[in-house]
Amino acid sequence: MSRNLRWSALVLGMLGTAGALALHWMVFFWVPTERTMGVVQRIFYIHVPAAWVAFMAFGIVALASVGYLWLKDERLDRAAVSAAEGGMVFTSVVLLTGPLWGKVAWGTWWTWEPRLTLTLLLWFIYLGYFLVRSATENPERGKRFAAVVGIVGALDIPLIHVSVQFFRSLHPPPVVLKPEGPTLDSEMLVTLFVGLGAFTLLFFSFFLFRYGLEYARNQMVRRGTPSEVPGLSGGLS
């Protein structure tokens, strides 16, 4: 991993950590408690940033995959696989924190309503991304197939966003991204934006480290010692 990449990742990580510490202080000591749901509504401040980062990560996967299929540049494939792994982690955060909130707010851990179902589908699509990558004998072919899955999977993201408007849904509609502007209390909005910033910075820090890992893996393969390369196909190994 190059010195510049490592330093960039460390600086982003430190800024993200400072943001996350500020977020926790705000969540537990500053932001007002929501009237009807009580303290459990504070899950919102990690649930929404995790969803934002997951969608951004899969957006990066789709863009990098289009670039990879077009230009055949290995760096774009490395970026795609690094972002996909982060996207899986943050989608898992969304899928695990949501039911904990839903159990108190809705009285059920899970319901097969459009937004929840499409988010679960997104998680499985990107699981498929890693399976396709490692399922072919020819690694280059696996990368190309995975790039197609990465692009198709990203089409699910706008569907998730509009699902609460087009279908009858238990999930609440957007409170920030609305044509008439956010309808959140100002302190809640500030806390949410601190969360979005902190999660974004942390994601890019870990993304750079993960990119460095993929680079080192490629170097190892070029040296001709694939047996020593952990998770050669670039999966979640």
Question: In the complex, which residues of this chain contact another protein (CB under 8 A)?
Answer: 1, 13, 17, 20-21, 24-25, 28-29, 33, 37-40, 42-43, 46-47, 50, 85-86, 89-90, 92-93, 96-97, 100-101, 103-104, 202, 206, 209-210, 212-213, 216-217, 219-220, 223, 225, 228-231, 237
- CB 72 → another protein: shortest distance, Å? 24
Provide the CA 77 distance to its chain's centre, in angstroms.
Answer: 17
Direct distance between the N- and C-terminal alpha carbons of the chain, in angstroms, rounded to an integer: 19
Cβ neighbors of 107 (< 8 A, separation 6 or more) are none
Cβ neighbors of 177 (< 8 A, separation 6 or more) are 161
Number of CB atoms found within 10 A of residue 48's CB: 19
- Residue indicated by tokens 């989608």: 91
- CB 130 → another protein: shortest distance, Å? 14
Cβ neighbors of 74 (< 8 A, separation 6 or more) are 218
Residue 97 or 117 having the CB closest to another protein: 97
Cβ neighbors of 89 (< 8 A, separation 6 or more) are none
Which amino acid does the sequence have at 166?
F
- CB 117 → another protein: shortest distance, Å? 20
Residue 151 or 202 having the CB closest to another protein: 202
Residue 168 or 222 having the CB closest to another protein: 222
- CB 33 → another protein: shortest distance, Å? 4
- CB 24 → another protein: shortest distance, Å? 5
Residue 104 or 155 having the CB closest to another protein: 104
User: What is the Cα Rg of the chain in Å?
Assistant: 19
- CB 218 → another protein: shortest distance, Å? 10
Residue 145 or 206 having the CB closest to another protein: 206
CB 104 within 8 A of CB 174: no
Residue 180 or 228 having the CB closest to another protein: 228
Residue 101 or 110 having the CB closest to another protein: 101
Residues 6, 75: Cα–Cα separation, whole Å: 16
- CB 32 → another protein: shortest distance, Å? 9
Provide the CA 233 distance to its chain's centre, in angstroms.
Answer: 21
Cβ neighbors of 148 (< 8 A, separation 6 or more) are 65, 69
